[in-house]
Structure 1
């Protein structure tokens, strides 16, 4: 019986990654992500999977970002009771990310019900904080590079992917097939993370394509960040910086610490990290020394680069402070969380700035602001955009198109087929064409819900 891969997410879009691998009546899920962005994508989160959760034998997580892990509490709530395998750092991050995701969904549903702007009565969260805490009991860790058996007769191994703490590529061996899932690949020159490891030989490769049609600029993030923050500070404004709590927040804190040390930013400029999740994540770097580029002293500098804000009262107090300030707050595409309140408060003033720090998925508020729109909808209100909107081109934690190609070129042998996933359609198809033309390998962009033989 053949090995099959069913693309239940991350196909034709950059979120919701879920790959169901099936062989002889057994199946496991590689990644278990939430859809984000356009409403029609987000609605997929509420659609039942085409396989019963209790028929899935295991879940293997490449990393902890919600577009790869955020569906897990719902999967467990609906009957999945197998093991969830990951690296130790991914487990540590999931313990922060998933309960926070459930808490935010509960808060957003309660806020919608209070304000009456939901079309559902009542608005219900996809899952709760308690659901997320329960699913964490299913997690089991394995060291990077060590072979393990997620199901009887199936062998798996994680290898370093850069990108964020704990992120891995995954080699799965089953039914005589070697299937390599890239996960999200980091940059060779990332500020925080080590470069991705070279890929092992595989029959089939499933590769992400977030930046499949783009190249990162030569300019580094320090050179791009400094003038933007200097500009907003000089005019006494507030910079609101939507950040991913895992990875992007820490990269910017490290960059800001360096800018202050070099005298490019005044030491007196107030910096706030307003995200309990990002605050807790920042502390993990000291616990995982050796898995990233920073030494112990640099980890401490990063932790002290901003005032750490955890309570709602502290968050509200930031709004009362006059004078220039920088507020880093989750989420990175302004899809939810505390950053929405800061944006609603500061977008209308021309002295202020919104600093977008990387890829903005179509349909998100971040993409709306990046597009030059005159307004953005927040909490049922259209908020005028008078603040300066700056999009950093150099802060991404994803490999660009040429770096993705370099990773593939390092394969010891040519795979029989490459599936190009986890990208917008234009990015995925551009990478597919490069793979076919430059490497001469068979490549395709699978459709959502499609099934292919490995």
Structure 2
């Protein structure tokens, strides 16, 4: 019997830094290569050496392009990795955008830290640079969905779309006769712009995400809720601020808002501003790959004609000063940085305004603080009182909830022998473990970082 082992180098016991290392007699495969985000204790792990020899990794397979799944790639390449990195075509284009942005922000943060001397390192250095990111792109290798790729004599894999964002896939690895599925981030069964997740039907082991393993999304009418909060806010002459992830969520939002205007549920002349250069570029990419969505390219082109897309930081202050009610969609999605901070500094202290939270908010982020009814936010060294309405709309989440995750497992014709849970906070992991074992009678293990498990 050939020994196959799995070790999670990230994304175990947390929702960030996904890296799962599959060691086999023929190849050593890294599934995802993400950056740790969120609280300082997590971010510091990006600087710690991996609990493996980087030069022993033969190849990487990428589920999708979000930073917590691809953001460590340039550092890995800089450290000696020289294998192929397999991904879908939309993932390649989005990953390039996200990695260049990540590198640019790191260079800027390092420059500020050195200039203002608020670093214990002399000088401070970025984890990787723009040049490092660009050097990594030559290892990107495009694979079509639903195509079997023979990696070695006894190992093959294929992608299957899983919703979440364009190009996102689950991965099936057949290795020495054993079938191991990596779910990636599973999308919603009913997205406004994406087809429902596809699925495999056989597996020995499933390595599965658990982001919302302890929660059910609100199934009441999302459109009605959005309509209510938008109309009540503009009636009070306030602004609607939506911190939004540049890739996926922003595009879904503008499609839904377009529909609300078409249905005369919100004023047709209500300004909608996207203030995020990355969201603007991600929207361009999504239009280029419109066939991966349920919306035709012509419709997307019509929709963006009605949006004020601001790419220049110099215009942000002008938009902030404009007293007319508007909807602002700005990064970052968890309020950890980006232009949304400029709007919050100006608007979060006024009860006429509404902040709509539309995605997962990790522990330690300002977005989580807002959801936890924090009375103040610290932004750029200063505290701002929170008086605006803060409303969570889970119906816009790009992650499956507990019921959808369970339904995804039920689609397997023969239940897997074991499910290994990753990509969740401890309470979500434990709740999903109990639910799977109780309802489906499948053995479940919660993976621990750097623990080697025999598959």
Which interval holds the TM-score relative to the shorter structure?
over 0.9
In 1, Cα distance between the equivalents of 2:224 and 2:116?
43
In 2, Cα distance between the equivalents of 1:299 and 1:3?
45
Instruction: Tell which deviates more after alignment, 48-57 or 123-132.
Output: 123-132
The change in CA–CA distance for 1:129 and 1:237 in structure 2 (over 3 A counts) is farther
CA positional deviation for 1:24: 2.1
The change in CA–CA distance for 1:235 and 1:107 in structure 2 (over 3 A counts) is farther
**For residue 259 of structure 2, what is the aligned residue in structure 1?**
258
CA positional deviation for 1:365: 1.1
Q: Over residues 161-180 of structure 1, what are the superposed CA-to-partner deviations in whole Å (9 max), with x where a residue is unaligned?
A: 01110010000122332110
CA positional deviation for 1:113: 4.5
CA positional deviation for 1:52: 2.5
**For residue 4 of structure 2, what is the aligned residue in structure 1?**
3
2:377 matched to 1:376?
A: yes
Matching of residues 235-384 of structure 1 within 5 Å: 235-384=236-385
Q: Over residues 99-139 of structure 1, what are the superposed CA-to-partner deviations in whole Å (9 max), with x where a residue is unaligned?
A: 11111222333344455555655543322222222212210
2:225 matched to 1:224?
A: yes
Matching of residues 57-136 of structure 1 within 5 Å: 57-114=58-115, 118=119, 120=121, 122-136=123-137
In 1, Cα distance between the equivalents of 2:227 and 2:243?
17
Report if aligned partners of 1:157, 1:172 keep a CA contact under 8 Å in 2. yes
CA positional deviation for 1:258: 0.8
Report if aligned partners of 2:26, 2:152 keep a CA contact under 8 Å in 1. no
CA positional deviation for 1:66: 0.9
Q: Over residues 189-221 of structure 1, what are the superposed CA-to-partner deviations in whole Å (9 max), with x where a residue is unaligned?
A: 111111111223111101111111111122233
Q: Over residues 85-108 of structure 1, what are the superposed CA-to-partner deviations in whole Å (9 max), with x where a residue is unaligned?
A: 001111111121111111122233
In 1, Cα distance between the equivalents of 2:121 and 2:344?
25
In 1, Cα distance between the equivalents of 2:200 and 2:231?
41
In 2, Cα distance between the equivalents of 1:317 and 1:137?
40
Q: TM-score, normalised by structure 2?
A: 0.95
Report if aligned partners of 1:199, 1:407 keep a CA contact under 8 Å in 2. no
In 1, Cα distance between the equivalents of 2:246 and 2:451?
32
For structure 1, the residue ranges without an aligned partner over 5 or more in a row are none
In 1, Cα distance between the equivalents of 2:125 and 2:387?
33
CA positional deviation for 1:410: 0.5
Report if aligned partners of 1:14, 1:361 keep a CA contact under 8 Å in 2. yes
In 2, Cα distance between the equivalents of 1:54 and 1:296?
42
In 1, Cα distance between the equivalents of 2:79 and 2:206?
30
In 2, Cα distance between the equivalents of 1:11 and 1:443?
14
**For residue 138 of structure 2, what is the aligned residue in structure 1?**
137
**For residue 12 of structure 1, what is the aligned residue in structure 2?**
13
Matching of residues 408-427 of structure 1 within 5 Å: 408-427=409-428
**For residue 214 of structure 1, what is the aligned residue in structure 2?**
215
Q: Over residues 48-81 of structure 1, what are the superposed CA-to-partner deviations in whole Å (9 max), with x where a residue is unaligned?
A: 1112322211110001111111111111122211
In 1, Cα distance between the equivalents of 2:124 and 2:368?
25
